[in-house]
């Protein structure tokens, strides 16, 4: 839909006394939010003589709508001038279509104002690209309102390690496209240091033992820990503790996993293995013990 406001300004025999108006046209929302009812205000300022008429149109047709008009008179440098404002409240449905509102007179200049559509959902499209290739996996967030929309893309660890460039591109019919990119950096990925050691409850090797696997100083926080006994998955209760620290501007994480192995299996010299995967890179450390002494084996 198109709404127009036109005016007619009478002539005067004295050319020096004729001053054309300056014209502005802008929307105003009642509560300051684009979702509230809108009013259109057309202002014509600094003109002379006073004789001036305003007409609103929609789709180039006269619009029969209630106007609130206000007129002022001022004198500056001996020159008397007038200002007039005309305010209307357009139909909400027509406004939310993204209508173009135009105000012009019968002589140049012409002022054209494009008003974007702000209906229940902002009709913007977000596109994800990895190294310039469009991705299908981006999902808009359900948290939307009339002025913004968010989207989330999950990037695989392999693509992140390969230092792919991830780009989010936003497009809207009323604005120029805009985009923002981020590139994975090798300095952002820090592998963990891993240690594995036994701890005896009473400090004696004859008392019950616990095995503690510690992975420290890694980033990002995508890490998993699995235990094995004699190279077979071990279904056993783990006590895990995680810490986060920042050193030299680099955020890192540490994690410890503690288990209490079967006493008989431990004393038989069974092999217990702590396996970890960080960014799909496996890290393994193995320890075995026989009665009163233990030997570390590194894999």
Note whether residue 156 is domain-resident: yes
pLDDT > 60? residue 2: no
pTM over 0.75: no
The reported pLDDT for the residue numbered 106 is 46
The reported pLDDT for the residue numbered 15 is 44
Give the integer Cα–Cα distance in Å for 65 and 39: 12
- Strand order of the sheet with strand 2-9? 61-62, 52-58, 2-9, 100-103, 111-114
Among the ranges given (33-37, 159-163, 277-281), the one the predictor scored with the smallest mean pLDDT: 159-163
Torsion of CA 155, 158, 159, 162, to 10 degrees: 150
pLDDT > 50? residue 209: yes
Q: For residue 71, what is the domain's CATH number?
A: 2.60.40.10
Beta carbons of 175 and 116 less than 8 angstroms apart: yes
When comparing pLDDT for 40 and 120, which is higher? 40
The 10s digit of each residue's pLDDT in 64-106 is: 888 888 888 888 777 888 888 888 888 888 877 766 666 554 4
30 and 102 fall within a common domain:
yes
The reported pLDDT for the residue numbered 138 is 63
- H/E stretch holding 96 reads helix 92-96
32 and 107 fall within a common domain:
yes
Give the integer Cα–Cα distance in Å for 149 and 180: 15
* Radius of gyration for the chain, computed over Cα atoms and rounded to the nearest angstrom: 36
135 and 229 fall within a common domain:
no
Q: Give me the domain span that covers residue 10.
A: 2-114
Residue 271: alpha-carbon gap to chain centroid: 49
The 10s digit of each residue's pLDDT in 115-125 is: 554 444 456 78
Beta carbons of 31 and 46 less than 8 angstroms apart: no
Give the integer Cα–Cα distance in Å for 273 and 283: 11
180 and 192 fall within a common domain:
no
pLDDT > 60? residue 8: no
Residue 289, phi-psi category: left (phi > 0), alpha (psi -120 to 50), beta (remainder): beta
Q: Is residue 296 very low, low, confident or very high in pLDDT (cuts 50, 70, 90)?
A: very low
pLDDT > 80? residue 215: yes
Q: Is residue 261 very low, low, confident or very high in pLDDT (cuts 50, 70, 90)?
A: very high
Percent of the chain with pLDDT over 90: 9
Q: Is residue 107 very low, low, confident or very high in pLDDT (cuts 50, 70, 90)?
A: very low
91 and 31 fall within a common domain:
yes
- Residues 256-286 as b or e (16 or more Cβ within 10 Å = b): bbebbbeeeebbeebebbbbbebbeeebebb
The strand pairing partners of 248, in sequence order, are none
Per the structure, how many domains does the chain have? 3
Note whether residue 119 is domain-resident: no
Note whether residue 120 is domain-resident: no
């Amino acid at each position: 839909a198109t709404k127009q406001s036109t005016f007619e300004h009478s002539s005067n025999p004295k050319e020096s006394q004729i001053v054309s108006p300056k014209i502005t046209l802008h929307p105003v929302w009642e509560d300051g939010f684009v979702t509230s009812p809108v009013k259109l205000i057309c202002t014509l300022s600094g003109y002379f003589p006073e004789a001036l008429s305003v007409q609103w149109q929609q789709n180039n047709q006269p619009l029969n709508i209630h106007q609130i008009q206000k007129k002022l008179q001022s004198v500056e440098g001996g020159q008397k001038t007038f200002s007039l404002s005309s305010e209307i409240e357009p139909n909400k449905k027509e406004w939310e279509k993204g209508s173009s509102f135009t105000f012009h007179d019968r002589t140049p200049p012409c002022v054209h104002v494009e008003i974007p559509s702000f209906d229940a959902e902002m009709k913007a499209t977000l596109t994800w690209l990895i190294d310039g290739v469009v991705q299908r996996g981006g999902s808009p967030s359900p948290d939307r309102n009339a002025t913004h929309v968010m989207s989330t893309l999950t990037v695989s660890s392999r693509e992140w390690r390969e230092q792919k460039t991830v780009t989010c591109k936003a497009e809207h019919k009323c604005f120029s496209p805009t985009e923002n990119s981020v590139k994975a950096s090798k300095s952002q990925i820090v592998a963990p240091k891993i240690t594995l050691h036994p701890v005896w409850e009473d400090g004696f090797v004859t008392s019950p033992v616990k095995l503690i696997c510690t992975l420290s100083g890694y980033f990002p926080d995508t890490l998993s820990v699995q235990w094995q006994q004699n190279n077979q998955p071990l279904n056993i209760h783990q006590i895990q503790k995680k810490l986060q620290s920042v050193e030299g501007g680099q955020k890192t994480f540490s994690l410890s996993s503690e288990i209490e192995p079967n006493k008989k299996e431990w004393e038989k010299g069974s092999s217990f293995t702590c396996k970890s995967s960080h960014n799909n890179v496996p890290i393994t450390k193995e320890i075995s013990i026989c009665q009163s002494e233990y030997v570390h084996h590194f894999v």
